[in-house]
Amino acid sequence: MIESLPNLLKPEVLYRHFFLNLKSLAWLKHLKKNGWFDLQSGLWVYEVPDQPRIYTAPRWPAMVYVKKIADYTKDRPDDETVRILAAIVNDVISYSNNNQERILHQYTVWDLVEIIATFPTERLERQHITFMSHALRWGPPLLVQNEIEQKFFPKLLNVEAKELTLVFLEVMIKDSKMLSMMEKQAPAIVKLCGIEAVNIALKQIHNIIAEHVGRFRMLQEIEADPAEKLLGYEELLVHFTCSLLRRAESDNIAGTVEDLFQKSHDIFKRIALHAITHHYEALKHLFWKWQGNLLEETLLKPELYRLLQTNCQTFDEVEIEQILQWIESKQYNTRFAEDEETRSKQEAYRKREWLSALMETDNEKVVSAYQKYEQINSAKLERPGLLLWTTIYLEAGTSPTTIEKLSNMSNAQIAALLNNFKGEDASGPSVPTEEGLAEMLEEYVALNPRRFANDLHPFQSVRNFYQYWILRGLLKAWRDKREFDCAKLLDFIHQLVSSEEFWAKQHKGRYDGHSEWIFAVAELIEAGTRDGEYAFDAKLLPLAEKILLILVEKVQLKSSPSESVSVAVVNSDSGRVFSAMVNYALQFARVQSKDQVDRWPQAIKADFTKRLDRNVEPSFEFSFTLGAYLTYLLYLDEVWLVDNIDRIFPKQDEYHWHVAFSGYLLYSRPLSESIYSLLKKHGHYQKVLNSDFCNRQIDASVLPEPDVVYLDSQQIDLTVDRVVKEKLVSDICLGWMEGFEILEDESSLIYQLVNSENPNLLSTLIHFFWKKRNNLPEQLKTKVIPTWRALYESLSQKDDVEKYGEVLSRLSGWVALVDKIDGEVLKWLKMSTQYIRGLTDSAFFVEELLPHAIKTPAEVGDIYLGMLSHNIYPYHDQEHIQGIVRVLYNTGHKEIADRICNLYGEAGFDFLRSLYDENQN
């Protein structure tokens, strides 16, 4: 019989029927021996039409049978059967084709996860756990995560499979979700694995630091409650490590904690302090043997404060005296204090902060010292024990001088210091560096802007690097509304940009070139013209204009960005200059007569008009800025905008048209009827709908997992910019809601969108409605039925309807948007449910179908049977499926309910068995 199967099952329909209905264990060994579970021979993979290298694959029927056997064997262990199952799984998860790729459907990935989870621990191997870690990305992530969290990992702990648990930790520790889960299991992990689990976590921290020493430096307190705060991966990893140490036996971790104190990176010392806090009696000797003043270790502050506060009542007189000496002798950072009184108050505040950790001792010296400093500075202690972010930031290097010394220097002397100082080659928080000097200079300028703005001449001779940080300081002062002489600042900048010598200088260092300098100047002018309530004096606008017109000629042309265009524009000098020019023009318009039609300065208008010729201005930044600021350009000069709309969006130049329209869709908000009508009249929206516009920008990171996954390669051609696409669809739908469009009008944009040949656009349209299902505006609700009807008529007439399978699958979710399933909706849903794809679509559909079962049970039963007849078996959302079947039984539709139960049973799903039995008389 087994030899005849290849001929008997050659038609795919018979192959599927055989394996979906096969239950006998006796077949397993023979089917394995004859290669029926080999990926190469048993998996159909289809390339999606017109989408090269995009594949789809049906669920693998043979693996459905294997899963049924695995479920059966789970409660009836049989060594031989488990051995065969393990061999099948191992062959599948290790297989690769000639291109070193392995292609599986999400369902199959999920089947394999569930099969592995049934194995007794003695059959589990490292490769199985590794596969599960990959399945978190390849398969349906929530289902895989739940299977691991609720069943697989607890099983390892319950049977005390120590070696496998250690493998699990080593493999899964790189995943944030698994870290959160493992932290909850920390008591059981420590009980089983002890210090070995701690070492795995510490090794992962070490590996991350080896790649970049700056990692873990931005953590606040490492004992933050993950239930109250969304933690990043580094925080989760440290939190997990500390959880293990807290729960470990003191004797087992003493050596590890002592070693942590010897490591150079502060995160290890912080973890050590955390461990001592919770094992103080056993480990306090490690704390008190520290050489030097612990309070000087700035980044240890949160854990040190917590240790003192938690254990201070156990301190003896000698130990309290030691801490008081530390508090008094510590060098506090008061370098930004402008006078002795301010410095004294800052020191008093910081000393009170440390003393507050000891107040529960009721020690007379502690209380007396606290009261003394409270008289100097009685300000409320804000978040005592936590780090200041500026403190963390400045740890990258230090300044060769102090604020006090700078305050005693003239500007000429400061300029000489900037010109003469050479940073050391070494690195570390205490090493004087140019960056440390520049950061301190920025802060000092920000606090004393008048001093610098009034006498900038000495800084004409310093490097661009330091000029950049001076400008950054003045920008910060402006944003903090600290007044200074803007006229002198702009005059200083104008003198520099007007000098050929300035532009002739060559610079090599970071922030030492002209690009960063231009960016800083443009950002400063933009800040001074953006807010009409707090802006440069109107008399200064002509000088700002002169500077901008010089800068725009000096920016260097950039190549097309490899990153997102919007990000590249924001971070480029030319993008910032163009943005500043628009904001300057808006401020110019605000101070002019509001009755004028042409509101912007003629020089800026002439410059922009000249650059509309892309031979003159080929930069992508200019095109993007035009689109992004289109609404403002309308305000500045509507006639100019109308006359030049086809030059702003040059149809003959695909690249610049694409970039400009992307800028418009991303940033030109809110929707303007004038602009919408203008773009529609000139065919720009139509061009978007009729081109591959929404298939050209690559942003795969925001897309959902595809049904088909490449287990080894990342070569899936995901080429859709979701944000731009969503804004396009949103514009057209909002235009329809506002009455700019008529669905029945074939020339309307909404008609063209609904009848688009682009599946991506149709899916986005469907999602636009569906995502509002929980709070659907009445204005949009009235559009649901007309839109659905139009989509059905369009899709049902397509010869290549299979190409739109994903569209129809998502359209099934619109069952949540209607109050009742009438005859028309029934017809639409029966078409959509034939194409339901992926676990997510099926789960949402079943959940949203359930409320309709009570109102229209016959129609719901008809829909469900139609879905099953196309071999689509939702099975993960079992609670809602059972709910639907229960309603069918309760409303007298027993024949339909029985049929659904039987079909599920024949397909190998038994979760409806008890419900079926309950309703048989």
SS (H, E, C) 391-403: HHHHHHCECCCCH
> Closest Cα to residue 587, out of 554, 551, 635?
635
Three-state SS for 283-350 is HHHHHHCCCCCHHHCHHHHHHHHHHHHHHHHHCCHHHHHHHHHHHHHCCCCCCCCCCHHHHHHHHHHH
pLDDT at 40 over 70: no
Averaged pLDDT for residues 847-855: 94
Among the ranges given (332-346, 511-525, 625-639), the one the predictor scored with the smallest mean pLDDT: 332-346
Residue indicated by tokens 């419900």: 915
- Specify whether the backbone of 24 is left (phi greater than 0), alpha (psi in -120 to 50) or beta: beta
Averaged pLDDT for residues 781-809: 92
Whole-prediction pTM value?
0.60
Triad 467, 472, 474: Cα angle to 5° = 95
Indicate if 212 and 152 belong to the same structural domain: no
* Alpha helical stretches, state H, 480-538: 486-497, 500-504, 514-530
What pLDDT does residue 400 have?
A: 86
pLDDT at 702 over 50: no
- 138 occurs within a structural domain: yes
Indicate if 227 and 106 belong to the same structural domain: no
Among the ranges given (302-311, 478-487, 589-598, 842-851), the one the predictor scored with the smallest mean pLDDT: 589-598
Domain boundary among 272, 291, 310: 291
- 730 occurs within a structural domain: no
Q: Residues 890, 860: contact at Cβ < 8 Å?
A: no
- The helix or strand, by DSSP H or E, that contains position 681, with its residue range, turns out to be helix 673-681
pLDDT at 712 over 50: no
Q: Residues 846, 874: contact at Cβ < 8 Å?
A: yes
What pLDDT does residue 594 have?
A: 62
pLDDT at 53 over 60: no
The count of structural domains within the chain is 2
pLDDT at 916 over 80: yes
What pLDDT does residue 396 have?
A: 44
One-character DSSP codes across 106-164: HHHHHHHHHHHHHS-GGG--HHHHHHHHHHHHHS-HHHHHHHIIIIIHHHHHHTT-HHH
- Would you place residue 57 in the very low, low, confident or very high pLDDT band (cuts 50, 70, 90)? low
Query: How far from the centroid of its chain's Cα atoms is residue 760's Cα?
Result: 22
> SS3 of 46, please?
strand
pLDDT at 42 over 70: no
CA dihedral of 758, 763, 766, 769, whole degrees rounded to 10: -110
Indicate if 275 and 224 belong to the same structural domain: yes
Q: Residues 173, 204: contact at Cβ < 8 Å?
A: yes
Residues whose CB falls within 8 Å of the CB of residue 198, separated by 6 or more in sequence, listed in order: 190, 241, 244, 245, 248, 253, 256
Indicate if 121 and 25 belong to the same structural domain: yes
What pLDDT does residue 48 have?
A: 44
User: Which tokens belong to 560?
Assistant: 């097309």
Residues whose CB falls within 8 Å of the CB of residue 218, separated by 6 or more in sequence, listed in order: 389, 392
What pLDDT does residue 1 have?
A: 66
> According to the per-residue pLDDT averaged within each range, which of 8-22, 575-589, 724-738, 870-884 is highest?
575-589
Q: In this structure, how many other beta carbons lie within 10 angstroms of the beta carbon of residue 500? A: 6
Q: Residues 695, 724: contact at Cβ < 8 Å?
A: no
pLDDT at 561 over 60: no
Q: b/e per residue, 421-450, with b = 16+ CB within 10 A? A: eebeeeeebeebbbbbbbbbbbbbbbbbbe
Averaged pLDDT for residues 247-275: 92
User: Which tokens belong to 147?
Assistant: 């299977």
- 213 occurs within a structural domain: yes
DSSP state letter for 217: T
Which is more confidently placed, 439 or 73?
73
User: Which tokens belong to 565?
Assistant: 């265009």
Domain boundary among 241, 265, 291: 291
pLDDT at 891 over 50: yes
Q: b/e per residue, 855-882, with b = 16+ CB within 10 A? A: ebbebbbbbbebbbeebbbbbbbeebbb
Cα–Cα distance for residue pair 123/486, rounded to 1 Å:
75
User: Which tokens belong to 342?
Assistant: 């301010």
Side chain identity, residue 806 = E
User: Which tokens belong to 177?
Assistant: 């979700």
Phi and psi (nearest 5°) for 103? -115, 125
Phi and psi (nearest 5°) for 227? -75, -25
Q: In this structure, how many other beta carbons lie within 10 angstroms of the beta carbon of residue 186? A: 20
pLDDT at 84 over 80: yes
Averaged pLDDT for residues 446-465: 92
pLDDT at 249 over 50: yes
What pLDDT does residue 250 have?
A: 92
> Closest Cα to residue 153, out of 139, 169, 131?
169
- Would you place residue 704 in the very low, low, confident or very high pLDDT band (cuts 50, 70, 90)? very low
Q: What percent of the chain has pLDDT over 70?
A: 85
Q: Residues 819, 848: contact at Cβ < 8 Å?
A: no
- 590 occurs within a structural domain: no
- Would you place residue 705 in the very low, low, confident or very high pLDDT band (cuts 50, 70, 90)? very low
Indicate if 77 and 147 belong to the same structural domain: yes
**Mean pLDDT (the chain, rounded):** 85
What pLDDT does residue 185 have?
A: 93
Three-state SS for 529-598 is HHCCCCCCCHHHHHHHHHHHHHHHHHCCCCCCCCCCHHHHHHCCHHHHHHHHHHHHHHHHHHHCCCCCCC
Indicate if 106 and 182 belong to the same structural domain: no
Cα–Cα distance for residue pair 913/741, rounded to 1 Å:
52
- Would you place residue 710 in the very low, low, confident or very high pLDDT band (cuts 50, 70, 90)? very low
- 149 occurs within a structural domain: yes
What pLDDT does residue 430 have?
A: 58
Residue indicated by tokens 């081109």: 691
Indicate if 154 and 232 belong to the same structural domain: no
Indicate if 154 and 24 belong to the same structural domain: yes
- The helix or strand, by DSSP H or E, that contains position 47, with its residue range, turns out to be strand 46-47
Indicate if 113 and 1 belong to the same structural domain: yes
What pLDDT does residue 434 have?
A: 84
Boundaries of domain holding 38: 1-159
Indicate if 141 and 259 belong to the same structural domain: no
Cα–Cα distance for residue pair 508/125, rounded to 1 Å:
54
Cα–Cα distance for residue pair 597/111, rounded to 1 Å:
67
Indicate if 283 and 190 belong to the same structural domain: yes
Q: pLDDT per residue over 209-218, tens digit each?
A: 887 767 787 6
Q: Residues 708, 43: contact at Cβ < 8 Å?
A: no
What pLDDT does residue 721 have?
A: 56
> Closest Cα to residue 129, out of 105, 147, 113, 110?
113
> Closest Cα to residue 102, out of 131, 140, 78?
131
Averaged pLDDT for residues 851-855: 94
Task: Say how many residues make up the chain.
Answer: 921
What pLDDT does residue 719 have?
A: 30
Q: Residues 3, 35: contact at Cβ < 8 Å?
A: no
Q: pLDDT per residue over 393-433, tens digit each?
A: 434 457 888 877 888 899 999 999 999 998 765 444 556 88
- 367 occurs within a structural domain: no
- 532 occurs within a structural domain: no
Averaged pLDDT for residues 693-714: 37
What pLDDT does residue 390 have?
A: 41
pLDDT at 162 over 60: yes
* Bond prior to 851 in cis (omega within 30° of 0): no
What pLDDT does residue 776 have?
A: 87
What pLDDT does residue 427 have?
A: 47
pLDDT at 308 over 70: yes
- 113 occurs within a structural domain: yes
Burial class (CB in 10 A: 0-12, 13-18, 19+), 588: buried
Half-sphere exposure of 573 (CA within 13 A, CB side): 20
Q: pLDDT per residue over 863-881, tens digit each?
A: 999 999 888 888 777 889 9
> Closest Cα to residue 804, out of 71, 238, 51?
51
Report, in angstroms and rounded to the nearest whole number, the Rg of the chain calculated over CA atoms: 34
Indicate if 23 and 115 belong to the same structural domain: yes
- Would you place residue 709 in the very low, low, confident or very high pLDDT band (cuts 50, 70, 90)? very low
- The helix or strand, by DSSP H or E, that contains position 708, with its residue range, turns out to be strand 708-710
Q: Residues 82, 120: contact at Cβ < 8 Å?
A: yes
Q: Residues 868, 903: contact at Cβ < 8 Å?
A: yes
Among the ranges given (44-53, 291-300, 870-879), the one the predictor scored with the smallest mean pLDDT: 44-53
User: Which tokens belong to 543?
Assistant: 């000088």
Domain boundary among 256, 274, 291: 291
Half-sphere exposure of 384 (CA within 13 A, CB side): 18
pLDDT at 114 over 70: yes
User: Which tokens belong to 250?
Assistant: 């003191």
What pLDDT does residue 838 have?
A: 62
Side chain identity, residue 79 = D
What pLDDT does residue 389 have?
A: 42
